[in-house]
Amino acid sequence: MKRDIKFNSFYSSSNYTKNLEKLFADYELFRQKHFSNQCIELLKEDYPNSEILLTHSATGALEMIALSLNLQEGDEIILPSFTFVSTANAFALRGAKLVFVDIEMDTLGIDPELVKVAITEKTKAIVCVHYAGHACKIDELVSIAKAHQLFLIEDAAMAFGSKHKGQALGTFGDFGVVSFDVTKHISASQGGLLILNNKHYSLEINNSYHTGANRASFEKGAVPYYEWVSLGSKYQMPETNAVILFEQLRESKAILSQLLELSKHYHKLLQPLERGDTFVLMNKNNLEKNYHEFYLILPTKHQRIALAEHLKASGIEALFHYVPLHDSSFAQRKFQSPALSNTSKISNTLLRIPLHTKMTIEDVKYICIEILKFFKA
């Protein structure tokens, strides 16, 4: 029987309504940011040695970081092209020159060896992206950044719950960001997290977080009143969004456990089909990954399109992902970039299949059977 399996879903809880009613009944909970503070306490378990700030989006968190770097005209930012536009926009808005570097095929993260080649005397920072919650070569990137005295920024938008050698992604560089967007496995509907590991920038980050005013210093009693001291904006997460995030963070271990279990079944059922002329399964046996997504790499763009159409006809929503930033019309007008072969190949052949908490093992079996039918046809 044909099923209707969406690509993603939103985690359900009756406590959303209960906590919203509690919030709306007491103005002091709004004023004191009760649920935001509860979220921060829960998040400290994952980021115990970092200063963390809830933001209205990961985009906002990246913009705060770009603002704190005090970028000057001509400063260069090295970053991958295979990422969401916010990763680039944050720095382009501050006038930086973007230097796009190719990714590795095994991690889909920025290639450290190519980063070394791209560094010039104008390079200010390296931005890495932990695609689909899988760690890029972060140890190598940390070493490169330190050797050249560059900032390292981790775009861990998809990586909440993922670790490298037991340490949370987003905590290796000077700064990190996480997304709690509606598309993410842990969500505030819309929201983000700024992870500050370089404490030398605490004051600047907190000032920009509070619309450019030194309100954080005022609240700590360090100054008698707060005033405008720098550039900034309204980056805080709305308290209504924090209500949603609070409940999902409370259930995050169960959510991640379910995604891992579903992913194990995908691997078990699809590995016998894995060949050069069918598809490649990525990130096998990585128990430190959050399994934010499950994807296949097809041999060609044509096969990817055909498989997606076959799955759609069977009631299964399967999606492509990024158009490479360096290929976009805007980037081609503003920034010169060489051909990035791995980026282009992955962009043309990666297919994401459903993975979320409203799925069952039977749903996974159904999807795998349909994939098998496609390759046997």
Task: Reduce the secondary structure of the chain to three states and give it as a string.
Answer: CCCCECCCCCCCCCHHHHHHHHHHCCHHHHHCCHHHHHHHHHHCCCCCCCEEEEECCHHHHHHHHHHHCCCCCCCEEEEECCCCHHHHHHHHCCCCEEEEECECCCCCCECHHHHHHHCCCCEEEEEEECHHHCCCCHHHHHHHHHHCCCEEEEECCCCCCCEECCEECCCCCCEEEEECCCCCCCCCCCCEEEEECCHHHHHHHHHHHECCECHHHHHCCCCCCCCECCCCCECECCHHHHHHHHHHHHCHHHHHHHHHHHHHHHHHHHHHHCECCCEEECCCCCCCCCCCCEEEECCCHHHHHHHHHHHHHCCECCECCCCCHHHCHHHHHHCCCCCCHHHHHHHHHEEEECCCCCCCHHHHHHHHHHHHHHHHC
pLDDT at site 282: 75
Q: According to CATH, where is 3.40.640.10 located in the chain? A: 15-250
> Could you report the per-residue pLDDT of 131-169, keeping only the tens digit for each?
999 999 999 999 999 999 999 999 999 999 999 999 999
pLDDT at site 225: 86
d(CA 46, CA 347): 31
Tokens of 171: 């905590």
Q: According to CATH, where is 3.90.1150.10 located in the chain? A: 252-376
Pairing of strands 350-353, 175-179: unpaired
d(CA 255, CA 270): 23
d(CA 282, CA 291): 11
Amino acid at 254: A
d(CA 91, CA 318): 31
How many of the other CB atoms lie within 10 Å of CB of 151? 19
Compute CA distances 365 → 256, 368, 369, whole Å: 20, 5, 6
pLDDT at site 212: 86
Residue stretches of the chain with pLDDT short of 50: none
Residues 6+ apart with CB under 8 A from 21: none
What φ, ψ does residue 294 adopt, rounded to 5°?
-125, 130
Angle at the Cα of 189 (from 187 to 195), degrees rounded to 5?
A: 55
d(CA 236, CA 19): 19
Domain over 15-250 is classified CATH 3.40.640.10:
yes
pLDDT at site 337: 82
d(CA 230, CA 53): 18
d(CA 172, CA 139): 8
d(CA 174, CA 163): 17
How is domain 252-376 classified at the CATH fold level?
A: Aspartate Aminotransferase, domain 1 (3.90.1150)
Using only C-alpha atoms, what is the Rg of the chain? 21
Compute CA distances 45 → 50, 66, 164, whole Å: 10, 26, 16
Q: At what angle do helices 15-24 and 34-43 cross, to 10 degrees?
A: 130
